[in-house]
Amino acid sequence: MDDTMSQVSTTSADKIIADLYPRKFGTAGRIWTLVLLVICAIGAYAYYRQLRYGLEVTAMRDYASWGIYISNFVFFVAISLVGSLITAILRLSNARWSTPLTRIAEIIAVSAIVFASIIIIVDMGRPERFMNIFLHLRIQSPIIWDVVVISTYFVISLLLLYLPLLPDLQILTTDPEKNSGFQNKLYRLLGSFWRGTQEQLRICNRSIYILCITIIPVAFTIHTVTSWLFATTFRPGWDSTNFGAYFISGAFLVGGGAVLVAMYLFRRSYHLENYITTDLFDKMGKIVVMLALLYLYFNVNEYLVPAFKMKKPEEIHLHELFAGKYALIFWFAILVGMIFPLIMLLFRKGREPFPAFVAGVMVVVGAWFKRYLIVTPTLLHPFLPITDVPESYRRYFPSWEEWAITMGSLAGALLIITFFARLFPIIPIYETVTERSETHENL
């Protein structure tokens, strides 16, 4: 590793290290962290109330037995697929321009998959019964396969986050005075076996390559199996062979939108204009356009075919979405979450940093509401008419406990990303130095 560093001028390498070195929180960073901690604390209190009083504190009843917890679970699983899109697919295609994005994508993926696992346990009401999945598993159930693929995806994502970090840990330990005592201990613990020899680098790069190949089918499987939780029923709105591809295309879109948001925020917060360049926004914006067009195609398929056949249960469901009580949310998700960002990013001006950031926010927010629409309206349109039940059973609007837990989970995912950026370089130092060295040699 020292040989590679020496190929770049000392001044250039030192500047890259200084630019990308983890930094202490400023006033804005402390306020941001405090706000997230407060939201998490409120969510924790709401979950305490749910544990104490049961799922009665939620608005979920016999018919709407799934609510925003499951919507949030599907959203987290979707956004986690960005790790395989950026880290695996672009690495394997040798797209060197994506290097500044790989670690951002992986920490988004890891934080999302952590809270996808947590929120599904929250939805159970009795978390101790989670072990029954393993004690009394049914191999033919999509639920057990969902647990398996989520666990597998989490492990691979964690390794893809950790292995490229090893050379950076060695760089971070060379100047202990820049770090706190806790940081120095953490860096030495995580990189205790790393010496930076050519053999270690070869093994590390080979391992990353194998993991990149492995994670792609796992990523496709994770959201396909999640879609099967819905598609293996006969309910209108879920009974579709299109669901697997529909979920995957939507997942890649929301993941791409999340990366655009993170790119802009890290660029502004850490002054990384020389690394997260305007050209990078342009390239990522084009990818999001392609993903939005793909997702739009599957949306047309998802609604056009049932509308053409117009079976009675499907007719009621589609009417509620297009012109009924869910119409406002539906058109918000379609227009704000897909059409408007697509139009913005089609133009070069729209792929500049701030417009791309706005488009990314629209995609992410629209995607959350889209997952809500996938889950709730279908449950309130069963095959048998809803009769002789309290009025509250006929509708669903989340209680404050559900909103608090949901917002707490979103804040928790952001907190993981925030603490990671405080402790570790959000852009790979060693890979950046190496690539600029190779570029310098080729000139």
* CA end-to-end distance (rounded Å), the chain: 22
Among 252, 200, 244, 201, smallest CA distance to 89 is for 252
For residues 284 and 256, the answer to whether their CB atoms sit within 8 Å is: yes
Residue 203 three-state SS: helix
Question: How confident is the model over 219-239, as pLDDT tens digits?
Answer: 888 888 888 888 888 888 888
Q: Which domains does the chain have, with CATH numbers?
A: 23-432 (1.20.1630.10)
pLDDT for res 9: 57
* Rounded CA separation 88/107 (Å): 14
pLDDT for res 2: 52
Written as one letter, the residue type at 395 is R
pLDDT for res 441: 55
Any idea what DSSP says for residue 383? S
For residues 288 and 341, the answer to whether their CB atoms sit within 8 Å is: yes
For residues 143 and 164, the answer to whether their CB atoms sit within 8 Å is: no
Question: How confident is the model over 340-391, as pLDDT tens digits?
Answer: 999 999 999 999 999 999 999 999 999 999 999 998 888 877 766 777 777 6
pLDDT for res 4: 52
* Rounded CA separation 334/61 (Å): 28
User: The dihedral of CA 203, 208, 212, 218: what is its sign?
Assistant: positive
pLDDT for res 439: 62
pTM higher than the cut 0.85: yes
* Rounded CA separation 363/258 (Å): 8
Dihedral pair phi/psi, residue 92, rounded to 5°:
-65, -30
Exposure b/e, 317-349, CB count within 10 A at least 16 = b: bbebbeeeebeebbebbbebbbebbbebbeeee
Among 22, 18, 118, smallest CA distance to 420 is for 22
CA torsion angle 275 278 283 287 (round to 10): 100
Angle, in degrees to the nearest 10, between helices 429-442 and 10-20: 150
The label of the residue with tokens 């989970």 reads 409
Among 147, 160, 293, smallest CA distance to 216 is for 160
pLDDT for res 425: 94
> Which segments of the chain have a pLDDT < 70?
1-11, 383-384, 391-392, 438-443
Written as one letter, the residue type at 109 is A
Residue 238 three-state SS: coil
* Rounded CA separation 285/257 (Å): 9
For residues 398 and 372, the answer to whether their CB atoms sit within 8 Å is: no
